[in-house]
């Protein structure tokens, strides 16, 4: 009697937190698919659900706990991983039914837990049949990908517990990073987003060791990595956009600005300044030479006028006075950053900042947050308004359906806009052949405080 090949087990995934966690989720799912598992888009169809948690702030922990609770209620067979995995006792106390808890980027432990909870259903003979190479699992659209170059961090910022969650800096081999980047671009990635906890420190832990790549020696260093990524080309022969995130402003960052001016890198830097007041920066245990930063921003713009600088700031840090906050506002007037995000300070269990005197009342935090966002919105509105009438390259993220008149709209981003965190470019009357991942020339017709609006310039 012929036996029936059992259906493969299915895995559901809930991925929370930053892009670095998203990359972890992609790697876990890639490993599981190689082991014969399939992915489930919903709770009902999953044999087990993975929840990749975030534990950076208390609000993120609450979101993670809510996600675990939802997965337990909807499915019942749940494995927890990610940054909050370091609080396994808390998770098990709240959700005794959880099958397993593992920490951040512990891929082997997650896969082992899945094998135990839902053993792969392919038999020994089926396993011998060559499987079609499915490629890596991607949780982002096909046209952009996150490229994680390292794990962990060597800083001891007073408000942060990342080193406790993810350990000290551990850089990936540069040849492995470049191989992954090459593979992603060959598979259709038009935009690579380089991420880590501290991109500028890449290779410090391995003393910037050299590796052979394409017959030449390259250092495990941010500048060498940037230069090599700038040589990548899509199958159509075009340079992909290369976007650098989490770049601390160490002196060697100056060396990547000419690469942007040459078109080898996307003219964009994501720099986590966090504050500008020297007193607050010292309390945060962060570099405090803010005047020198302003000089460097000016020099960068002279070399590459198109460069866009994004950053994030914390308001209401313990000890922050009104004078400190005013200092930050004046600094922003000088810095003229293109994109800014802000966070109200939250105590995080295990962070040194919790013991600092001078706690800022919640009402004051809210008021300062509102003033900061008003200031940065005005700066952004002026910068975007200056782009009206210009023609900019735009990468398409989504193409809409025709409206009642048959017109089609599309949403994309300029080189000054990273996905999910920055603004968008909204295009009208796009051709029906347009698709996600296309890079087009668009004339900007209008702007508001955050987004641009325009129309595609037809190719001649």
How long a stretch of residues is the chain?
460
Task: Give the domains, in start order, of the chain with CATH numbers.
Answer: 10-128 (3.40.50.12160), 144-385 (3.80.30.20), 391-456 (2.40.50.140)
For residues 413-441, one letter each, b for 16 or more C-beta atoms within 10 angstroms of the residue's C-beta and e for the rest, the string is bbbbbbbeebbbbbbeebeeebebbbbbe
Q: Rounded distance, CA 255 to CA 296, Å?
A: 12
pLDDT along the chain (460 residues), means of 10: 64 84 81 82 90 82 91 92 86 92 80 86 42 54 90 76 76 96 94 93 95 95 96 94 93 94 96 92 75 89 97 94 97 96 83 81 95 96 97 96 89 95 94 94 96 90
Q: What is the pLDDT of residue 126?
A: 40
In whole angstroms, give the CA distance from residue 205 to residue 170: 6
As a whole number of angstroms, the distance between CA 112 and CA 259 comes to: 43
Closest to 394 in 3D by CA, of 184, 143, 139: 143
Tell me the CA distances in angstroms from 216 to 175, 210, 269, 391, one per residue in order. 11, 10, 28, 38
Q: SS3 for 56?
A: coil
pLDDT of residue 460: 67
Alpha-helical regions (H) of 44-196: 58-74, 88-94, 107-117, 162-166, 174-186
The pLDDT value recorded for residue 135 is 54
Cα–Cα distance measured from residue 8 to residue 36, given in angstroms and rounded to the nearest whole number: 6
Side-by-side strand order, sheet with 100-101: 38-39, 10-15, 48-53, 78-82, 100-101
Please state the pTM of the whole predicted model: 0.78
- Report pLDDT for 254: 94
Helices (H) and strands (E) counted in the chain, each on its own, are 12, 20
Sign of CA dihedral 183, 189, 194, 195: negative
The structure tokens listed for 159 are 């408000």
CA–CA separation, 119 and 9 (whole Å): 8
Predicted local confidence at residue 75, as pLDDT:
92
SS3 252: helix
316 contacts 365 by C-beta, under 8 angstroms: yes
| Tens-place pLDDT, residues 325-349 | 999 999 999 999 999 999 898 877 7
**pLDDT at residue number 128:** 38
126 close to 8: Cβ distance less than 8 angstroms: no
Tokens of 130: 């060559």
Distance CA 356, CA 372 (A): 23
């Amino acid at each position: 009697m012929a036996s029936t090949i059992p259906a493969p087990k299915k895995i559901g995934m809930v991925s929370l937190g930053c892009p670095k966690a998203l990359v972890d989720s992609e790697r876990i799912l890639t490993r599981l698919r190689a082991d014969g598992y399939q992915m489930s888009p919903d709770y009902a169809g999953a044999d087990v659900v993975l929840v990749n948690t975030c534990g950076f702030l208390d609000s993120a922990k609450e979101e993670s706990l809510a996600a675990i609770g939802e997965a337990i209620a909807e499915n019942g067979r749940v494995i927890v991983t990610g940054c909050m995995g370091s609080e396994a006792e808390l998770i098990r106390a709240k959700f005794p039914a959880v099958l397993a808890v593992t920490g951040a980027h512990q891929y082997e432990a997650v896969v082992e837990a899945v094998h135990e909870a839902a053993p792969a259903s392919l038999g020994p003979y089926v396993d011998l049949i060559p499987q079609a190479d499915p490629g890596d699992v991607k949780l982002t659209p096909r046209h952009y990908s996150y490229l994680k170059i390292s794990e962990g961090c060597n800083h001891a910022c007073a408000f942060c517990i990342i080193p406790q969650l993810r350990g000290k800096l551990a850089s990936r081999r540069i040849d492995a990073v470049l191989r992954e980047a090459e593979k992603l671009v060959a598979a259709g990635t038009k935009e690579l987003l380089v991420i880590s906890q501290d991109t500028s420190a890449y290779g410090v832990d391995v003393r910037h060791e050299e590796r052979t790549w394409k017959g030449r020696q390259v250092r495990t260093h941010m500048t060498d990595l940037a230069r090599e990524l700038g040589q990548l080309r899509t199958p159509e022969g075009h340079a992909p956009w290369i976007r650098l995130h989490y770049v601390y402003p160490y002196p060697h960052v100056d060396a990547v600005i000419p690469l942007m001016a040459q078109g080898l890198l996307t003219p964009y830097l994501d720099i986590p300044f966090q504050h500008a007041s020297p007193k607050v920066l010292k309390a945060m245990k962060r570099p405090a030479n803010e005047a020198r930063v302003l000089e460097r921003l000016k020099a960068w713009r002279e070399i590459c006028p198109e460069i866009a600088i994004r950053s994030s700031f914390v308001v209401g840090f313990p000890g922050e006075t009104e004078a400190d906050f005013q200092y930050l506002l004046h600094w922003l007037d000088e810095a003229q950053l293109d994109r800014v995000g802000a966070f109200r300070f939250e105590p995080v269990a295990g962070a040194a900042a919790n013991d600092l005197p001078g706690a800022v009342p919640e009402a004051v935090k809210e008021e300062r947050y509102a003033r900061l966002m008003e200031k940065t919105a005005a700066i952004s509105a002026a910068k975007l308004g200056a782009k009206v009438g210009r023609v900019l390259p735009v990468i398409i993220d989504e193409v809409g359906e025709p409206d009642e008149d048959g017109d089609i709209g599309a949403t994309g981003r300029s080189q000054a806009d990273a996905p999910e965190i920055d603004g968008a470019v909204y295009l009208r009357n796009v051709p029906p052949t347009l698709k996600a991942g296309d890079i087009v020339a668009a004339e900007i017709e209008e702007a508001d405080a955050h987004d641009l609006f325009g129309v595609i310039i037809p190719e001649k």
